Structure 1
């Protein structure tokens, strides 16, 4: 199985056993190496070990990343893994194996993962690249496989490449995962803020102290500050920030009256740090999960830090 044609290719690899997985992925990688493409393999740890073992003869011609670390937050996979790898190899076709969805992904994480898969098509449109995305048919829910058919233009199964008749416009598909978030706990402390972010910083620092390490508290404070700054700069205000804990997670939610209309906001690195949109990129880097629900009447951004 190879994907050699020029242009952008984003197939979903539907596999049933680890032997199928290793055979299909290594064939893709070896074909890319033969074409002199820079190659990155970004998959969860168990599969990373399998592929490293099967590709030892290729040495440093293949780069590797643990997707459970680099892609812990699905919102940072595009800017921090895929697009960064492409930017590191200007003028070259890149080939990437990216597996953002695996059995241990939670229901909470999944909409962000599916949104990521849809938006790969928008972010890489017109580029010369191949991004192969494996899906474990035996361990993932059938609905996940159905979604994969709508987020990938082509599908590979049992060595055969075919068009996906369920593939749809990536922005429209991503919008289907722009789902309302459940309300915070009724007793969760909250603060109405504006016109400065100082109160947000103090509030988040105070409410998360003791639940996270000092370093992780400050990361969450910075992430919340970036979101609050967008409220102050781009909406009529005010905003509201709420903090609470769930098992193993600290959650910080910010709400305002703005509408986040660009589905790629936070997933593309602006040309310079002063450009609008960099704050959400940084927020994705700092958090273990970012969930966003935005409508013309308002936006909710929920930040998660593992405890």
Structure 2
């Protein structure tokens, strides 16, 4: 058996807990390593229902571990790699009620990329989806999962999600062109905007470092430079960097770098620094990287 990536929809907490704990206990019965990553309220309900069996299970809060959905594949990879030769099961609910539209889009991207990341890996992952989610969300969920409600899913679609363009921001924005000589000036402008927006010192530093790293990537891999623009959306500060390069690795930034790895840490670092990172790339429009950092204490992007 290869990677079995399945999902189900739920309309009550009781039904949710029954389905999830049944899946977990079936794994424990075969001595599987089990990791559960859920929103905190449902995480507690599942842990309470498992009782003593929960001591054999790893638990993570989706609001922390998966705030940026690009951080999730490395967590699942760690589970599988640490337990080589042993059955593995996971439960993950990346799409939940505290996500805004940009984060939900990236959750869908994550779900699609799971099928690429683990195409030849033997383990099982179950993803709950609230039946109350809008139909477009559920439709995309069905397209991303080869298994649905315990059955092979005829609606599964393994299309290229990296080539789907991002929506334009509300309101006008201005692009600034940059090259190696002007990266520092654009970075300082981003830092000033972050401070004026009200980000705390830690968030300013994270945002500025991420912006710098993405621009340097554009200089190195995107034809010597690119274009950047900044704007705000609610409690988020957003920076977008565009260049003429094309990303050929859909999992860029989603593999934990090794100590022996000479290069390729940039996008990994960006994913750890930002609350949300969106990457799109195709020959039609080049590469677009959109970074978001939220004010302290705000909801997900």
Q: Normalised by the size of structure 1, how large is the TM-score?
A: 0.88
Aligned to 1:131: 125
Offset from partner CA, 1:126-148 (integer Å, 9 cap, x none): 112111101111x1112222222
Alpha-carbon shift at residue 15 of structure 1 (Å): 1.9
Question: Alignment partner for residue 100 of structure 1, among 63, 87, 94?
Answer: 94
Alpha-carbon shift at residue 33 of structure 1 (Å): 1.0
Contact 1:42 1:98 in 2 (8 A): yes
Report the more deviating stretch, 69-78 or 232-241: 232-241
Offset from partner CA, 1:50-108 (integer Å, 9 cap, x none): 101101211421110110111111122112x2222223333332210011111332112
Q: Name the CA shift for 1:59/1:18 in 2 (closer, same or farther; >3 Å).
A: closer
1:10 alignment partner, SS class:
strand
Contact 2:173 2:229 in 1 (8 A): no
Aligned to 1:194: 179
2:98 alignment partner, SS class:
coil
Measure, in 2, the Cα distance between the counterparts of 1:240 and 1:173: 24
Alignment of 1:16-55 (within 5 A): 16-55=11-50
Question: Alignment partner for residue 112 of structure 1, among 106, 113, 117?
Answer: 106
Alignment of 1:1-307 (within 5 A): 6-79=1-74, 81-137=75-131, 139-156=132-149, 161-169=150-158, 172-175=159-162, 178-183=164-169, 185-186=171-172, 191-196=176-181, 197-210=183-196, 211-272=198-259, 274-296=261-283, 297-307=285-295
Report the more deviating stretch, 178-187 or 14-23: 178-187
Q: Normalised by the size of structure 2, how large is the TM-score?
A: 0.90
Aligned to 2:299: none
Q: Name the CA shift for 1:233/1:272 in 2 (closer, same or farther; >3 Å).
A: farther
Q: Alignment RMSD, CA only? A: 2.0
Q: Which runs of 5+ in 1 are unaligned?
A: 1-5
